[in-house]
C-alpha cells in the first residue's frame, strides 16, 4: 500500500507541470478533448452539499470545455457505490468523480473494498476543505472546552454523529481517547436529524460540519466549543482549534475533490486540474462555496495527492484505536 501511494504521488507530481504544456501533444491534437459529453458521478443524493458542489463546478466546466457535464447521483454504501462506478470506468477523461473525505476513511472501516483508492483513482483537484464544529446545546452548562471536559468527567454525557464510521463519529471517538472521558455515542441517520436534536437539546454534544451548522449559526440555540482542522475558520474567528485547546489528532480537514479513473491521460488530467482550479478561484464560485461553510482551494493534482497520502494513515489510526469496524 505504501509503495502504491508513493507511485501515486510520483505520478500526480508530473501533472502540475504538464498543465503548462497545454494541448499540443500529438495524440491530443489528433483527437481533441473533449469531443463528447462528460459524466460527473456524485456518490451521494441530489440536493446535499456534495451534489451542490458537484453541480457548481460541473456547470462551469461545461462552459469552458464546450461539452455538457452531466451530473449523475449514485448514492449508496457510504459513497462506495459511486466511487466504484468511476474506478471501473474507462480512463479516457469522460468519467469524473466528486469525492469527499469518506473515500479515504472507508478502507480502514471495511474489511473488503471493491477498489483500491491509491491505484484506481487519479487525483485532479482539491476543490474545497471543510471543518467540523464541536457543539453543545445551550442547556449544557459549559461555555468552553475546559468546562465541558470537567462536566464529562463528573457524569456520563452523550455525543451524536451522522452515523457509524462518519467523520463526526471518528472525531467523537478521538475526543474520548484524547481527553479520557466517557461519552456515549448516539448515531443518527445523517446531518439533518442530528442538527434537529442539537437544536432541541436532545443530545449533549456533537461534531457537525460547518456546512450543516451554517444555517443555524445565528440562532443562539447551541454553543461552539472548538473546530477541527489546523487553523481557525475565518467566519468564526473566536472559535479555537482543537490543537489550540491542547488536543491532538484533529488536524485533518474534510474535503471535496475531483478525480478521474486510475491511469487517466496526463494531458487530460492536467487540463481538467487547471480549469477546475481557475473555476474554484472565481469570485462568484468562491463566494458560493464560502457561503456553504467551505474553504475554497482549487489545487494541482500533486497537492490533492499529498493531502490524501498524509491524511489517510491518520484516519486509519483513529479507526484502529477506537476499534471501529463496519460490515
Task: Give me the domains of the chain, ranges plus CATH numbers.
Answer: 2-130+253-322 (3.40.190.150), 132-227 (3.40.190.10)
CA nearest neighbour of 135 among 66, 202, 51, 207 = 207
CA nearest neighbour of 255 among 207, 183, 303, 201 = 303
Positive or negative, the CA dihedral 298, 301, 306, 308 is positive
Q: What is the per-residue pLDDT across 169-211, written as a single tens digit (0 to 9) for each?
A: 999 999 999 999 999 999 999 889 999 999 999 999 999 999 8
N- to C-terminal Cα distance for the chain?
22
Cα torsion at 6, 8, 13, 14 (round to 10°)? 120
> Rounded to whole angstroms, how far apart are CA atoms 185 and 205?
10
Asked whether residue 167 carries a pLDDT value surpassing 80, the answer given is: yes
CA nearest neighbour of 226 among 207, 211, 199, 202 = 207
Q: Where are the alpha helices (DSSP H) in the chain?
A: 2-18, 26-30, 49-65, 80-87, 102-109, 117-120, 145-154, 167-179, 191-200, 210-213, 266-280, 283-291, 301-322
> Rounded to whole angstroms, how far apart are CA atoms 260 and 124?
7
Q: How far is CA 174 from its chain centroid?
A: 18
**Which pTM does this prediction carry?**
0.86
Positive or negative, the CA dihedral 244, 245, 248, 251 is negative
Return the pLDDT at 8. Answer: 55
Return the pLDDT at 28. Answer: 42
CA nearest neighbour of 126 among 249, 11, 320, 281 = 281
> Rounded to whole angstroms, how far apart are CA atoms 222 and 140?
9
List CB contacts of 102: < 8 A, sequence separation 6 or more: 78, 79, 166, 167
Instruction: State which H helix or E strand residue 185 sits in.
Output: strand 183-187
- Residue located via cell numbers 451542490: 52
Q: What is the DSSP string of 223-235?
A: EEEEE-SSS--TT
> Rounded to whole angstroms, how far apart are CA atoms 325 and 62?
40
Residue 20, SS3 per DSSP: helix
Q: What is the per-residue pLDDT across 275-311, written as a single tens digit (0 to 9) for each?
A: 999 999 999 999 999 999 999 999 999 999 999 999 9
Phi-psi region of 241 (alpha: psi -120 to 50; beta: other; left: phi over 0): beta
> Rounded to whole angstroms, how far apart are CA atoms 319 and 267?
37
Average pLDDT over residues 64-89: 96
Average pLDDT of the chain, as a whole number? 90
Q: Band the pLDDT of 220: cuts 50, 70, 90.
A: confident
Asked whether residue 117 carries a pLDDT value surpassing 60, the answer given is: yes
> Rounded to whole angstroms, how far apart are CA atoms 324 and 110?
9
Q: Band the pLDDT of 20: cuts 50, 70, 90.
A: very low
Contact 161, 185 (CB under 8 A): yes
Return the pLDDT at 204. Answer: 97
Q: What is the DSSP string of 273-299?
A: HHHHHHHHTSHHHHHHHHHTT-EE---
Amino acid at each position: 500500500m505504501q509503495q502504491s501511494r508513493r507511485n501515486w504521488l510520483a505520478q500526480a507530481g508530473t501533472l502540475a507541470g504538464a498543465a503548462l504544456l497545454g494541448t499540443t501533444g500529438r495524440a491530443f491534437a489528433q483527437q481533441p478533448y473533449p469531443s463528447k459529453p462528460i459524466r460527473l458521478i456524485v456518490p451521494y443524493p441530489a440536493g446535499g452539499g456534495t451534489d451542490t458542489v458537484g453541480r457548481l463546478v460541473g456547470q462551469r466546466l461545461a462552459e469552458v470545455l464546450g461539452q455538457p457535464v452531466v451530473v449523475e447521483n449514485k448514492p449508496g454504501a457510504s459513497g462506495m457505490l459511486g466511487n466504484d462506478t468511476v474506478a471501473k470506468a474507462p480512463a479516457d477523461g469522460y468519467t469524473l468523480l466528486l469525492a469527499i473525505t469518506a473515500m479515504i476513511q472507508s478502507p480502514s472501516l471495511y474489511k473488503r473494498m471493491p477498489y483500491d483508492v491509491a491505484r484506481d483513482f487519479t487525483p485532479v483537484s482539491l476543490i474545497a476543505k471543510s471543518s467540523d464544529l464541536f457543539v453543545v446545546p445551550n442547556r449544557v452548562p459549559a461555555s468552553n472546552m475546559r468546562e465541558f471536559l470537567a462536566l464529562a468527567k463528573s457524569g456520563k454525557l452523550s455525543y451524536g454523529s451522522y452515523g457509524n464510521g462518519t467523520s463526526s463519529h471518528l472525531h467523537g471517538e478521538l475526543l474520548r481517547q484524547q481527553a479520557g472521558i466517557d461519552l456515549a455515542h448516539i448515531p443518527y441517520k445523517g446531518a439533518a436529524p442530528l442538527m434537529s436534536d442539537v437544536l432541541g437539546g436532545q443530545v449533549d454534544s456533537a461534531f457537525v460540519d460547518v456546512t450543516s451548522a451554517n444555517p443555524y449559526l445565528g440562532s443562539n440555540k447551541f454553543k461552539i466549543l472548538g473546530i477541527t482542522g489546523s487553523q481557525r475558520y475565518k467566519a468564526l474567528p473566536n472559535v479555537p482549534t482543537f490543537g489550540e485547546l491542547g488536543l491532538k489528532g484533529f488536524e485533518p480537514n474534510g474535503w471535496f475533490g475531483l478525480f478521474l479513473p486510475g491511469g487517466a491521460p496526463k494531458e487530460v488530467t492536467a487540463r481538467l486540474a487547471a480549469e477546475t482550479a481557475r473555476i474554484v478561484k472565481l469570485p462568484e464560485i468562491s463566494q458560493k462555496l464560502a457561503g456553504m461553510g467551505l474553504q475554497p482551494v482549487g489545487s494541482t493534482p500533486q497537492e490533492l495527492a499529498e493531502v490524501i497520502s498524509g491524511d489517510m494513515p491518520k484516519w486509519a489510526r483513529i479507526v484502529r484505536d477506537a476499534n471501529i469496524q463496519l460490515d
